[in-house]
Every structure is written in C-alpha cells, then in structure tokens.
Structure 1
C-alpha cells in the first residue's frame, strides 16, 4: 500500500506553494480552478520545480492530460473527472491516482479504477463550498478503512485536533484547505499541522489505529 505523509495540504496556486513548502510540507495538491490552459500548464511546471526543490510529493488535481504531458507523478480526480478520464493512459504514464468519494456507490466506482488512494469527505462540515453530502464522521472513516486495501485520505472540516482523531480512526493522511488558507498566519498553521501529525509520520512510534 502506498505510504502517504499524514499531512496533505491542498493549495490553489504556486504562490501558495512557494510560500508554504519551506515550512516542511512533504505532500501537497495543486488545485487550480477556472484558469486558461496555458496558465494551468505553467503552474504545473512551476509546481513540479518547487516540489523537487523541497523534496515534496506533488499531486495534480483534475488535469490528468497536462500531468502526463509534463511528466508529473500523481493526479487526483473527482467522480465526474474520473468518468471522463482515460485511465489506461494514466496507468501507462505511471501516474499514481487518487479519487474522491462521498458514498458507498462512489467508493465502488473509485475502487474499479484501482486507485493508489481514496479520499473520503466531508468528515466534518466544511466552509469551502456547499456540499450535497452530510458530514461522514469518524465511524464512516473507520468503515472505509475496513473496506479498502489502498491508502485512505480524510478531508473536510479538519483542524489539527480533528486530524488526530481522523488518523486514529484509520486515515493514512488528512487533507486540508480552509484551515490553512484562511489563517491569519498560514506558515504558523502549517507548522502546527506538521507537529500534530508527527506521531503518524514516524512509523516506529505510530499510534495504534482504532
């Protein structure tokens, strides 16, 4: 099973990456929305360079074609993007694959694509966008862990304190957007997240999962 860093921030552009990667982030998603293709390609290429410099794993959200063309290593797809993606091309290119899920049916769809990780959310209510799904909660996270053999990512309404509960419930990694990008001090908040998830980073002292 793929081993993910337990702290998984999702950031909107390379300005954010350049600002926060020096704090010690080792896994990050570039989540570009509503930009021209030329900007998307430029941002992906720049993000790849930043992540190489900081020894950080980069996940590209949605743009699997550009990820293949530019030589990225990891792509994340939502359910709609998964349905439209050329999974054979993604596999041929050697890209690792993460897939979002919000229900049992979506989990089945995701697992049919043989992903490297499945993301479940929202675990808690989130302010990022209006969700058609109720908060999943920690019991559903534990249920997902029992159903899958790939890595499991928790997302939605997480704070450093809640992240520890999600990791103890069976998540391999906890993804976060709002708690960082809306913070008065994102750098300090990243450091707080890294500290909070540290026990799950050191495999020799990882707490037992519930």
Structure 2
C-alpha cells in the first residue's frame, strides 16, 4: 500500500511549489488550470526536478498524458477525468493514481479503478469554489475509511484547528489549499501544518 504524508498541500504552479518546498513538505499536488499542453508539461518537468531535489512526492492533477511524458510517478483524477483517462497507459507507465469522490456512487466508480488512494470532500464548507455537494462531515470520513483498503485523503475547509478531529475520524492525509494560499504568511502557515502533523509521520 502506498504511504502518503499526512499533510497534502495543493499548489497552482511551480512558483508556489518553490515557496513551500524549503519548509520541508513531503507531498504536494500540482493543480494547473487552463494551460496549453506545452506549458503543463514544462511545469510538471520543473516540479519533478524541484521535488526530487527536496525529497518531496509530486502528484500531478488531471493531466495524466503529460504526467506520463514527463515521467511523473503520481496522478490525481477527478471523476470526469477518470472517465476519459487511459488507466492502462497510466499503469503501464508505473504511475500511481488518486481519485476524487463526493458520493457513494462516485466512491464505487473510484474503487472500481483500483486507486492508490481515494479523496473525499468537501468535509467542511469551502471558499475555494462553489461545490454541488453538501459538506460531508466527520461521520462520512469514518464510514468511507471502513469501506476502502487504500489511504483516505480528505479535503475542503480544513484548518489546523479542525485537523485533529479529521484525523481521529479516520483520515490518512489532509489536502489543503485555501488555508495556505490565503494566509498572510503561507510559509509560516505551512510550518504550522508540518508541526501539527509531525506526530503522525511514520505511524
């Protein structure tokens, strides 16, 4: 089974990645939106180089074909991306797969693809984007954790104050975007997250 760091920041480009890597993050997702294939592949290649130097695991969001071409070792797919992705090609390239899910039906779809981790969200109301799904809450974390054999990543409105309850409920890793990128000192906030999750490393 794949091992995920308990703290899972998500960044939109390699500029953000370069800011957070010196803090010591061990897992990060590169989530690029609305860019050309050439830009995406260049960003993935740069991100892989930065992460390799820092000892950080990189997850590429959505762009599975570019991830294969760049030699990435992890991709994250939403439900729509999963429907169109060539899982055979992804697996043949030795790439691990994480899949988003927001309902029981989506969980079944995700599990049918034999993912290396499943993501559940939003746990709490989130300001990042308008969600068609109601907040899942802590009980759903425990329910889903009991149903899957792979790590469970949770996302959506999670802060350092809420994180302990989320981990007690069964989450293996907490994905964070807004709490970091909107903070007056993203690097300092990342340090807070790293300290908070340190006791969970190597468990």
Structure 2 length as normaliser, TM-score? 0.99
Distance in 2, Cα, partners of 1:25 & 1:183: 17
Distance in 2, Cα, partners of 1:164 & 1:65: 36
Shift of 1:188: 0.3
**Aligned residue in 2 for 1:25:** 25
Shift of 1:167: 1.2
Checking the alignment, whether the CA contact within 8 Å between 1:161 and 1:196 is kept in structure 2 is: no
Shift of 1:73: 0.1
Equivalent residues in 2 for 1:65-84, closer than 5 Å:
65-84=65-84
Write out per-residue CA displacement over residues 12-49 of structure 1, whole angstroms, 9 at most, x where no aligned residue. Answer: 00000001110010000000001111111110000000
Distance in 2, Cα, partners of 1:131 & 1:90: 28
Distance in 2, Cα, partners of 1:105 & 1:52: 36
Unaligned runs of 5+ in 1: 204-210
Distance in 2, Cα, partners of 1:33 & 1:10: 12
**Aligned residue in 1 for 2:119:** 119
CA RMSD of aligned residues (A): 0.7
Question: Does residue 1:45 correspond to 2:77, yes or no?
Answer: no
Equivalent residues in 2 for 1:1-210, closer than 5 Å:
1-203=1-203
Distance in 2, Cα, partners of 1:168 & 1:89: 37
Shift of 1:202: 3.7
Distance in 1, Cα, partners of 2:147 & 2:167: 16
Shift of 1:163: 1.6
Three-state SS of the structure 1 residue aligned to 2:139 is helix
Distance in 2, Cα, partners of 1:107 & 1:76: 14
Checking the alignment, whether the CA contact within 8 Å between 1:100 and 1:120 is kept in structure 2 is: yes
Shift of 1:93: 0.7
Distance in 1, Cα, partners of 2:118 & 2:197: 19
Unaligned runs of 5+ in 2: none
Distance in 2, Cα, partners of 1:56 & 1:164: 23
Moved over 3 A (4+): none
Aligned length: 203
Distance in 2, Cα, partners of 1:181 & 1:199: 24
Distance in 2, Cα, partners of 1:21 & 1:58: 11
Shift of 1:146: 0.3
Structure 1 length as normaliser, TM-score? 0.95
Checking the alignment, whether the CA contact within 8 Å between 1:142 and 1:169 is kept in structure 2 is: yes
Checking the alignment, whether the CA contact within 8 Å between 1:121 and 1:136 is kept in structure 2 is: yes
